[in-house]
Amino acid sequence: MAQTKGLVFRQLFELESSTYTYLLADRETKEAVLIDPVLETIDRDLKLLHELGLNLKVAVNTHCHADHITSTGLMKKRLPELKSAISKFSGASADIFLTEGDKITFGNQYLTVRETPGHTDGCITLVSGDHSMAFTGDALLIRGCGRTDFQQGCAKKLYESIHQKIFTLPDKCLVYPAHDYLGQTVSTVGEERKFNPRLTKSLEDFVHIMNNLNLPKPKKIDISVPANLVCGVHEV
């Protein structure tokens, strides 16, 4: 559970793509950030923001998703003050291009950007100011990790990202991934360091595992990637 003082926090789920969207807001100033919003759930998310009296400042994507279309672009049309944000290495368009160490500030709260490439070149992990929560996108999943067989995927790079940029966080830091397919909502850095069946292996074994997953291509990749390169509004 999140312990950050003065933080409003909601984990939201999109059932078809098993994607988690995260809403964070400053309880005092009501400024909010949305991480990885999904097109299909835009009405649910905007309704919740409205009911909680929050003012959405930034919608950030942890990477250019291949499995669903982001609602960032459409949300910007509905909320003209809203800024979109994504890694500068994503190749996607946005209002704010993020790099290592950048801060996304909302009221008295902030998230820090850690570059965690390997699933894609532009993958980032967002860490709360007090290091109690990490939003790991598709880099580190609960007892798993993102695939590395398309979109600039590189197993070696992913292994190094997770070990250098996520596993260096405190053991009790909560891990909130972009997806879970088994109904798990949260993990911790300590647990993943200890129990992740892939990341507890050597680099060589990890690369071998990742290069032999033989997964089918994501169903929506040919639609999602081009759309997400332009904030999700391509032909929507």
In terms of CB distance, is 18 or 55 closer to a second copy?
18
The smaller minimum CB distance to a second copy, of residues 13 and 97, is found at 13
Looking at beta carbons only, is 28 or 195 nearer to a second copy?
Answer: 195
Per CB under 8 A, residues contacting a second copy are 1-3, 7, 9-15, 41, 44, 48, 51-52, 182-186, 191, 194-195
Q: Please enumerate in sequence order all residues whose Cβ is within 8 A of that of 96, keeping only pairs 6 or more positions apart, or say none.
A: 58, 60, 83, 84, 85, 86
Q: In whole angstroms, how close is the CB of 36 to a second copy at the nearest point?
A: 13
Give the whole-angstrom CA distance, residue 169 versus residue 150.
Answer: 28
What is the closest distance, in whole angstroms, from the C-beta atom of residue 19 to a second copy in the complex?
Answer: 9
Tokens for 155, please give them.
Answer: 């197993």
Q: What is the DSSP string of 47-93?
A: HHHHHTT-EEEEEE-SS--SSS-BSHHHHHHHSTT-EEEEEGGG---
Nearest CA to 189 out of 204, 169, 209 is that of 169
Closer Cβ to a second copy, 41 or 87, answer by number? 41
CA distance 179 to 38: 12
Radius of gyration of the chain (CA): 17
| Number of residues that make up the chain | 236
Residue 82 CB, shortest distance to a second copy, in Å, is 21
Q: How many CB atoms lie within 10 A of CB 43?
A: 10
Q: How far is the CB of 37 from a second copy (least distance, A)?
A: 12
Edge to edge, the sheet with strand 109-115 lists 103-106, 109-115, 124-128, 133-137, 174-177, 187-188
Q: Closest approach of Cβ 87 to a second copy, in Å?
A: 25
**Least distance (Å) between residue 212 CB and a second copy:** 24
Please report the DSSP string for 128-158 in residue order: ETTSSEEEEETTEETTEE---SSTT--HHHH
CB 145, min distance to a second copy, A: 17
Residue with smaller CB distance to a second copy, 43 or 205? 43
- Nearer CB in complex with a second copy: 2/236: 2
Residue number with CB closer to a second copy (77 or 195): 195
